Structures are given as structure tokens and as C-alpha cells.
Amino acid sequence: MAASFDNLLYDLDAASGILTITLNRPSKLNALNAATIEEIDSAMQLALDDRQVRGILLTGSGEKAFVAGADIAELAALTSGQAQRAAERGQEVFCKIEDSTKPVLAAINGFALGGGCELAMACHMRVAADNARFGQPEVNLGLLPGYGGTQRLPQLIGKGKAIELLLTADMIKADEALRLGLVNHVVPLAELMDFCRQLMTRILSKAPLASGMVLECVNAHYAKGLNGYEAEAKAFGRAFATEDFKEGTGAFLEKRPAAFKGK
């Protein structure tokens, strides 16, 4: 499916089913503004609705920044009420990424600060180039994260260290992000996209419906009002009714590679 945006590049490799969404505001280090948030929402909806899209890579243009933060000039003009609505909208869009049953992998090619760090954390997995830098510097501006940073950072690295980073506004390097569990892998910048495509290809070789259920169940652990164990048991039962289950078990017993169709 062809798609055109002002602030994003939308590139689907039909052969692999891997969609690459690139934040494309290089003169602003890919900083998030309201228009870009809306385009991320539209691109994600297109991806979720398109059966050709099986996995999503999210990255930034250039070699300096994934997303260097929010557009401060735009933020500075907001009233208190407008700021709350902007935060709620950003949270809604980032939750669409987190709740996707198609895997979303952030390829972090430089600075991931403020809203950029929050965007990366909304993805299911994160791979960082060795030049990547992470931080939530909002308290330097008299602000706090508004797109879910106070919620997702503790989930990923633990409460105490998350509070330290949120309150000091310290920026950490890629190797420290790996040690803390904020990212899954660190690779040289020149190898970042190839590594991410290879990782996504491995993921997409597995049963797609089961993979989507895994994402649902992991998210259920963190969702208010949901019992993750109950969600897992129900999904386990649903998996048995799929053609993918029949294919996967049949292939195992017949000692051949499985050919999953997502049914």
C-alpha cells in the first residue's frame, strides 16, 4: 500500500512484510510536533489495516537522532488545557503502537530524548546504534514527560532507577541503556537497519497469530483491570482453534519447516 506523509517516510517491503516508518524532520532532529503525532497515528492505522504488513520498524532520518524530543517552540505556546489534551492525544497514539498485535521494533539511530525516548519505549522492542543517547530531560524545562514516560520507564528499568533518571534529567549512553534493560541490543550505527531487519525476519518466521497473542498477554500484565494470567489462559485456548496451531504441530511431528498463514 502506497502512503505519503509530510513528516514520515512509509516504506513497505512486500516480499518480507516489513514496513519501515521513518520520522523525517532532519532539520529539527526529527522532533515531535502535533502534526507528526497525527501522522504516526495514521501510519500505524494503515499498517494495522494492511494484511501485507506483518512487522514494523520505526526509526529516524539521518545519523544524529531517532527523535531528539518534542518541538519546544510549539509546546511553549500551549495553555494548560491545551497541554493536557496534547498529552492525552500523544498517549493515545503511543498506546496504539504498544497495543499493536503486529510487532513494532524501534531502530534508534541517535538521540532519543523526551518524547523520542517515550516513542521508543512504546515499541515492543528497541535496538540502539552505538551512538544512541537516551533521556527524559523535561524537568529542565519545568515539565514532566507527557506521553507515558513516567509509566513505561519504571516498567522497563525498575522504579528506583527510573525515578533517578526522571528527576536528574541525566542522559545515558547506549551501553548503559543496554545494561539497564531499556534496549535489547546495541550495534554499530552502520549495521543498525540490517540487524533490525534480520531480527524482525526471525520474528516473522513464527506463527503470526500466536505472536500477536503473546503481545496481548504481555500488555495485559500492565493494564489496569486485566488479569494477565487469565488473558494468557484464554489466548492459549484460542490458539488451539487456529490453522497455525495445526500447521505448527503437524510440521513438528513431520520434521519439516512450518508454513504459517496467519489463520
Q: Which of 38, 92, 98, 138 is catalytic?
A: 138
Q: Which of 39, 63, 88, 118 is catalytic?
A: 118
138 catalytically annotated = yes
**Any idea what DSSP says for residue 78?**
-
- Please check whether residue 67 is in contact with residue 40, taking contact to mean a CB–CB distance below 8 angstroms: no
Find the DSSP H helices in 103-261: 115-122, 149-157, 159-168, 174-180, 192-204, 208-222, 228-239, 243-254
Q: Residue 52 is placed in which grid cell?
A: 501485507
Determine what percent of the chain falls in helix, strand and coil, rounding each to the nearest 5: 50, 15, 30
C-alpha 24: how far from its chain's center? 17
88 catalytically annotated = no
Residues with a catalytic annotation lie at 118, 138
